[in-house]
Amino acid sequence: MSNSDIPNFESHSISLRPMDEYNQRLVSYTHPPDWVNPQPADYYDLVVIGAGTAGLVVAAGAAGLDVGLKVALVEKHLMGGDCLNYGCVPSKTIIRSARVVGEILRARDFGISTAHYIEVDFPEVMQRMRRVRASISHNDSAERFQKLGVDVFLGSGRFASRDTVEVAGKSLRFKKAVIATGARAASLEIPGIETAKYLTNETVFSLTQRPQRFAVIGGGAIGCEMAQTFRRLGCDVIVFHNKAHILNKEDIEAAQVVQNAFIKEGIRLELNCEVERVEKTSDGKRIYFSSKGERNSITVDEILVGTGRAPNVEGLNLEAVGVDYDKSRGVVVNDFLQTTNPQIYAAGDICMDWKFTHAADAAARIVIKNALFSPFGLSKQRLSSLIMPWVTYTDPEVAHVGMYDHSAGSGANTIKIPFSSVDRAIADGEEEGFVKILLRQGSDEILGATIVARHAGEMISEVTTAIVNKLGLNKLTTVIHPYPTQAEAIRKAADAYRRTLLTPRTKRLLGLLTKIS
């Protein structure tokens, strides 16, 4: 990725490629070119640096309480952060288009005849994404937050002293501050890749023409989601991953289901692989790699790097306010999301291992409570108290909450219900997945769960709710699930646990009860 491909975060005038009517509308909401920063208040109860999910939730939550708090929000690029502009919204929009293709490809399995050739209008798919993104961008707009009572300052914010943030020539004095500057795509030190140029989540959604040959470096969540999506949109896709299987941080059986789906769809996987160098040629971008002791190469049109995130700590002048940070891990916080300066908090990707929008939202709520409504440190909330689910939006999806069986060791039991035993999954032709629930040994306490299904993300919340409210799996046997639904697999897991309680002694007792009833 060359310097010309990196968004100009310092400029007041923001441009997104292509600058069509939809991106113009997006920018008009999230970084309006005619925006005039307000005259700062004498003093702010809270100054928030960064208007991604965490920053927006903190600012809106504090101002929306209507208790007279003065709140300032500082953003140097696009309000809405990664989620709106480069993450959840654009990725899930094109994933939806790809799912339509997936359905058509399987149509014959359901008795539906289709043409042999599926025409994907790639420019239209990407235009739809820009249209959808623009249509919801008003929710994160500078004007909306101004109307909520937040003073919005566009420009690069930095700490000037222990109680002052400077932005665009103005000084914002604060009682408390929140760092929510997020993270960016991590760069790779692969010889030649900078010269050849590459895509990240910050630039891939600017594509307007389909790259026929598409390489993905990284087999984690982002890499896998985009690999399957671009394959379904008509690209020849190859994934380079340095582990033995994709999604290696997930349950190994869940990862295998997704990996089998990838192979079936024609995605080439190079596992246990090292990308050695990249060379720009007249025919494209040539990737040299080694795998299984052999060296090989392939030429592609575009390379997407999806190998992690780097925290945005640069330019904040954190030393001036005594905030410790690490360039790779981000701002250092305690369990209350407090930095090494007690008056400054942080939330979201800048300081957390959970780099999800919903995690940033939850952390922001903790910050509001701890920074503003916990006098003398009373009744503070802990980040570690959160029960955090997450979803990888491949097809099928992988959803997880809590512990994995490999980390629980011998102190846990596992109940697994394959979807091949669930009537609705059979009717849907979606039998490859499963529900796996991890229980504390000798108990129905739920330690964690993994679901692999077409809509696993919609199902995991039932298990998360049970964990949060300390409901054992046995309780879920009393929850009536509509028939037929795939979520019935969760009830089946609860029934399977209840059957483990049928010891010879309890069976004898039940037999006695039938005789006297």
Which of the residue ranges 51-65, 341-355, 503-517 would you say has the lowest mean pLDDT? Answer: 503-517
Q: Tell me: do 401 and 440 sit in the same domain.
A: yes
Stretch 206-234: mean pLDDT, rounded? 98
Kindly indicate the confidence band of residue 44, based on its pLDDT and cuts at 50, 70 and 90.
Answer: very high
- pLDDT over 80 (residue 13): no
Average of per-residue pLDDT across 353-372:
97
515 in any annotated domain:
no
Same domain, 362 and 411: no
Determine contact, residues 51/57, Cβ cutoff 8 Å.
Answer: no
pLDDT at position 149 over 80: yes
pLDDT at 28 over 70: yes
pLDDT in tens, 438-494: 999 999 999 999 999 999 999 999 999 999 999 999 999 999 999 999 999 999 999
**pLDDT, mean of residues 29-37:** 97
**Where would I find the beta strands (DSSP E) of 282-362?**
284-291, 294-300, 302-305, 309-311, 325-326, 330-331, 344-346
CA 365 to chain CA centroid, nearest Å: 18
Q: Quick one: pLDDT band at residue 505, thresholds 50, 70, 90? A: confident
Residue finishing a domain among 286, 307, 328: 307
Q: What is the residue-averaged pLDDT of the chain?
A: 94
Q: Flag whether 349 is in a domain.
A: yes
SS (H, E, C) 102-124: HHHHCHHHHCCCCCCCCCCCHHH
232 found inside a domain: yes
Over 60: is that where the pLDDT of 1 sits?
A: no
Higher pLDDT, 275 or 118: 275
User: What's the confidence (pLDDT) of residue 115?
Assistant: 75
pLDDT over 80 at 507, yes or no: no
Whether residues 145 and 203 fall in one domain = no
* 273 in a structural domain: yes
Q: Verify that 287 and 348 share a domain, yes or no.
A: no
155 shares a domain with 48 = yes
Q: Count of domains in the chain?
A: 3
Assess whether pLDDT exceeds 60 at residue 8: no
User: Is 268 in the same domain as 321?
Assistant: no
Q: What integer pLDDT is reported at residue 117 of this predicted model?
A: 81
* Residue 389 belongs to a domain: no
Structural domain contains residue 218: yes
Binding site, annotated residues: 92, 157, 218-225, 308, 349
Q: What is the average pLDDT across 8-15? A: 58
List binding-site positions for NAD(+). Answer: 218-225, 308
Question: 45-54, 61-70, 89-98: which has the minimum mean pLDDT?
Answer: 61-70
The answer to whether residue 350 scores a pLDDT higher than 90 is yes
Residue 461 lies in a domain: yes
φ, ψ dihedrals at 297, nearest 5°: -155, 160
Whether the per-residue pLDDT at 219 is higher than 90: the answer is yes
Span 290-334, pLDDT tens digits = 998 899 999 999 999 998 899 999 999 999 999 999 999 999 999
* Same-domain check for residues 301 and 314: no
- 21 with 156, same domain: the answer is yes
Domain carrying residue 283: 193-307
Known binding-site residue numbers for FAD: 92, 157, 349
Domain boundary among 278, 307, 336: 307
Q: How far is CA 226 from the centre of its chain?
A: 13
- Residue 269 pLDDT exceeds 60: yes
Answer whether residue 207 shows pLDDT above 80. Answer: yes
Q: At 272, which CATH number?
A: 3.50.50.60
Q: Which of 217, 196, 370, 226 is nearest to 289 (CA)?
A: 217
| CATH label of the domain that carries residue 460 | 3.30.390.30
**pLDDT of 282 strictly over 60:** yes
Q: What is the pLDDT of residues 395-436, one digit of tens each?
A: 999 999 999 988 877 789 999 999 999 999 999 999 999 999
Same domain, 159 and 16: yes
Last residue of a domain, one of 290, 307, 324: 307
Statement to judge: residues 406 and 370 lie in one domain: no
Question: Is a pLDDT exceeding 50 seen at residue 193?
Answer: yes
Q: Identify which has the larger pLDDT, 508 or 386.
A: 386
**pLDDT band for position 120 (50/70/90)?**
very high
Same domain, 48 and 175: yes
pTM greater than 0.75 (yes/no): yes
Cβ contacts of residue 213 below 8 Å, gap of 6+?
Answer: 235, 236, 284, 298, 299, 300, 301, 302
273 and 407, same domain (yes or no): no
Does residue 505 form part of some domain? no
So what's the pLDDT on residue 503? 76
d(CA 157, CA 168): 8
pLDDT of residue 3: 37
